[in-house]
Amino acid sequence: MSERSLPTQTEWPTLAILVACYGLWVLAVFWAAGVWLPLGIGLAALAIALHSSLTHEVLHGHPFRNALLNEALVFVCPGLFVPYRRFRDLHLAHHHDEVLTDPYDDPESNYLDPAVWARLPRWGRAVLRVNNTLAGRMVLGPAIGIWCLLRDDSRAIRAGDPGVLLAWVLHALGVVPVVVLVALSPMPFWAYLVAAYGGMSILKIRTFLEHQAHERASGRTVVIEDCGPLALIFLNNNLHVVHHMHPRAPWYRLPRLFDQNRDTYLRRNGGYYYRSYAEVFARHFLTAKDPVPHPLSQGKGREPTP
């Protein structure tokens, strides 16, 4: 099935899961937190992770053709930390497959220029080595990501970038109703911060090995053939090479696209493949999948840019 043959009508599965996501969030904060706080935190973290996956759908043009209407669906920001418009701009820049994993040109790369790596203090290298295991990525990854985003965006705002400033202003407005609702709920705000961090930790499972350094751009994007709860929370982006080849395809079409051309996708990405997230945990929970310095970098020797 080509992208041109994809349906253009309203995508009801996306709207349905959006309603379910907000419903789960309300259930977590107003009911589960009052019954047993750890249950509320866990359910809220799942809702926040799912909401982030939905923002990914929105920035790719779902469920409507109107970008502002789509943005309105995810304007309220239960995840607290990442402005939608910054995620949109950085992620769309990441979709230039010819620069995937490049420490400078791919804003979602976790690699560093070897020259930059060599200048880091010993403690900095130790932190990033831990961050290159799945356990480390889940524990440290959200904090590192938030710090880098705040650092880079504060620089951009000081340099006079109006788009970055607007993104943060709109984000602040979207966080206000979340803070008000949490204040009215049985969940303490400290517990909600734990849930928000936990939601980002869950997302780090998906992004941990989505891409690898490879000489061919087509060999840089993974397939994790999982159909369990994590695949649902990630809206099938475990079939990541399918998403990169068909970025306009809605999440519920990705499994069919993969099943129809499974061998083609696996040839294209050079067999960068895992059977399930269970295999990912077994192989990489405490073991790094690759080095922090980019093994194919040309060594420009400057700090990565946003």
Q: What is the per-residue pLDDT across 267-279, written as a single tens digit (0 to 9) for each?
A: 999 999 999 999 9
**Mean pLDDT value of segment 145-165:** 98
Instruction: Report cis status (omega within 30 of 0) of the bond before 78.
Output: no
**Mean pLDDT value of segment 281-292:** 96
Quickly state the pLDDT bin for 2 (edges 50, 70, 90).
Answer: very low
pLDDT recorded at residue 5: 42
Task: Give the global pTM.
Answer: 0.94
The length of the chain, given as a count of residues: 306
User: Could you identify the residue written with the tokens 């993104």?
Assistant: 167
pLDDT recorded at residue 300: 57
Provide the strand spans (E) within 20-165.
none
What whole-number percentage of the chain has pLDDT above 70? 94
pLDDT recorded at residue 226: 95
Which residues is 274 bridged to in the sheet? 224
Whether 6 has a pLDDT exceeding 50, the answer reads: no
Angle (CA) 21 44 27, round 5°: 65
**Mean pLDDT value of segment 62-82:** 97
pLDDT recorded at residue 10: 78
Which backbone phi and psi does 193 adopt, to 5 degrees? -60, -40
8 Å CB contact between 2 and 55: no
Give the residue among 235, 230, 305, 242 at the shortest CA–CA distance from 273.
242
- Which H/E stretch holds residue 224? strand 223-224
Gap between the Cα atoms of 34 and 210, Å rounded = 37
pLDDT recorded at residue 53: 98
